[in-house]
Amino acid sequence: MTQVLELDPERPQQDAIKRAASIIRDGGLVAFPTETVYGLGADAMNENAVLRIFEAKGRPSDNPCIVHVASRRMLDEVSIGIDAKAERLIKNFWPGPLTLVLGRKADVPSSVSAGLSTIAVRMPNNRIALELIEAAGVPVAAPSANSSGRPSPTTATHVFDDLAGRIDLILDGGDTKIGIESTVLDMTSDPPIILRPGWITKEMLRSVIGAVGDSSSEEDLRRSPGTRHRHYSPRARVILIEYGTTQQIEKLCVEHLNRGSVGFIGHSRLSINNESFYPIYLEAEADKYAHSIYSALREIDSRNPEIIIVEGINNEGLGASVMDRLRRAAS
Ligand code: TXA
Ligand code: MG
Q: Are strands 277-281 and 262-266 parallel, antiparallel or unpaired?
A: parallel
In a domain, 37, yes or no: yes
From ligand 1's centre to the CA of 253, what distance in Å?
A: 35
By DSSP bridging, strand 66-68 and strand 140-141 are: antiparallel
Same domain (yes/no): 208, 242 = no
Mean pLDDT across 157-172: 98
Residue nearest to atom 20 of ligand 1 (CA): 226
Interval between CA 64 and ligand 1 midpoint (Å): 7
Backbone angles phi, psi at 288, to 5 degrees: -70, -45
The answer to whether residues 167 and 244 belong to one domain is no
Residue where a domain stops, chosen among 221, 246, 269: 221
d(CA 195, ligand 1 centre) in Å: 9
Question: Does residue 73 fall inside a structural domain?
Answer: yes
User: Which atom number of ligand 1 is nearest to the Cα of residue 146?
Assistant: 14
Q: Choose the final residue of a domain: 169, 190, 221.
A: 221
What CATH number did the domain enclosing 256 receive?
A: 3.40.50.11030
> Which residues approach ligand 1 with their CB closer than 6 A?
34, 36-37, 39, 63-66, 97, 99, 101, 113, 116, 118-120, 124, 142-144, 181-182, 184, 195-196, 223-227
- Minimum CA distance residue for ligand 1 atom 17: 226
Whether residue 153 contacts residue 294, with contact meaning beta carbons closer than 8 Å, is answered with yes
322 Cα to the center of ligand 1, angstroms:
16
Give the span between the Cα atoms of 246 and 18, in whole angstroms: 51
Q: What residue numbers bound the domain in which 281 lies?
A: 237-329
Read off the pLDDT of residues 240-293 as tens digits, 9 standing for 90 and up. Answer: 998 877 778 999 999 999 999 999 999 999 999 999 999 999 999 999 999 999
Q: How confident is the model at residue 221 (pLDDT cuts 50, 70, 90)?
A: low
Residue 80 belongs to a domain: yes
- Predicted pLDDT at 235: 83
What pLDDT, on a 0 to 100 scale, did the predictor assign at position 247?
Answer: 75
- Any idea which ligand is nearest the CA of 96? 1
pLDDT exceeds 60 at position 316: yes
Q: What is the pLDDT of residue 223?
A: 58
CB 298 within 8 A of CB 234: yes
Is 176 found in the same domain as 266?
no
Residue owning the nearest CA to atom 6 of ligand 1: 39
b/e map 145-161, b = 16+ CB within 10 Å: bbbbbbbbbbbbebbbe
Among 30, 184, 186, which residue has the most ligand 1 atoms within 8 Å of its CB, making it the best to mutate? Answer: 184
Q: Nearest ligand to the C-alpha of residue 53?
A: 1
CB 82 within 8 A of CB 168: no
Structural domain includes residue 230 = no
CATH number at residue 59: 3.90.870.10
Give the pLDDT confidence score for residue 227 in this predicted structure.
Answer: 60
By the 10 Å C-beta count (0-12 exposed, 13-18 middle, 19+ buried), 55 is classed as exposed
**Amino acid making up residue 305:** P
Q: Are residues 215 and 323 in the same domain?
A: no
For ligand 2, the distance from its centroid to the CA atom of residue 273, given in whole angstroms, is 36
Q: Based on the fold, state whether residues 216 and 242 are members of the same structural domain.
A: no
Arithmetic mean of pLDDT, 187-201: 97
Co-location of 116 and 87 in the same domain: yes
For the chain, how long is the longest CA-to-CA vector?
60
Residue with CA at minimum distance from ligand 1 atom 32: 224
Residue 218 is predicted with a pLDDT of 55
pLDDT of residue 215: 81
**Residue 134 sits in the same domain as residue 264:** no
The three-class DSSP label of residue 96 is coil
Nearest atom (ligand 1) to Cα of 116: 29
Both 247 and 173 in one domain: the answer is no
- Give me the mean pLDDT over the 56-71 stretch: 97
Confidence band for 219, pLDDT divided at 50, 70 and 90: low
Q: What is the pLDDT of residue 191?
A: 97
- Domain match, 59 and 206 both: yes
Residue 68 CA: nearest ligand 1 atom is: 7
Residue 133's pLDDT band, with cuts at 50, 70 and 90, is very high
Mean pLDDT of 138-167: 97
28-47: pLDDT as tens digits: 999 999 999 999 999 999 99
Establish if 151 belongs to a structural domain: yes
Are 249 and 294 spatial neighbours (Cβ–Cβ below 8 Å)? no
Q: Which helix (H) or strand (E) holds 184?
A: strand 183-186
CA triple 84-118-192, angle to 5 deg:
45
CA angle 70, 174, 181 (to 5 degrees): 55
Q: Whole-number mean pLDDT of the chain?
A: 94
pLDDT of 169 above 90: yes
Model confidence pTM above 0.85: yes
226 falls within a domain? no
Q: Which ligand sits nearest to residue 228's alpha carbon?
A: 1
Query: 71-122: per-residue pLDDT in tens?
Result: 999 999 999 999 999 999 999 999 999 999 999 999 999 999 999 999 999 9
Among the bound ligands, the one closest to the CA of 182: 1
319 lies in a domain? yes
In this structure, are 212 and 303 located in the same domain?
no
Q: Is the dihedral of CA 226, 300, 282, 237 positive or negative?
A: positive
**Domain-embedded: residue 231:** no
Does 55 share its domain with 165? Answer: yes
Do 190 and 103 lie in one domain? The reply is yes
The answer, yes or no, to whether residue 207 has pLDDT greater than 80, is yes
Where a domain ends, among 195, 221, 247? 221
- Domains in the chain, number: 2
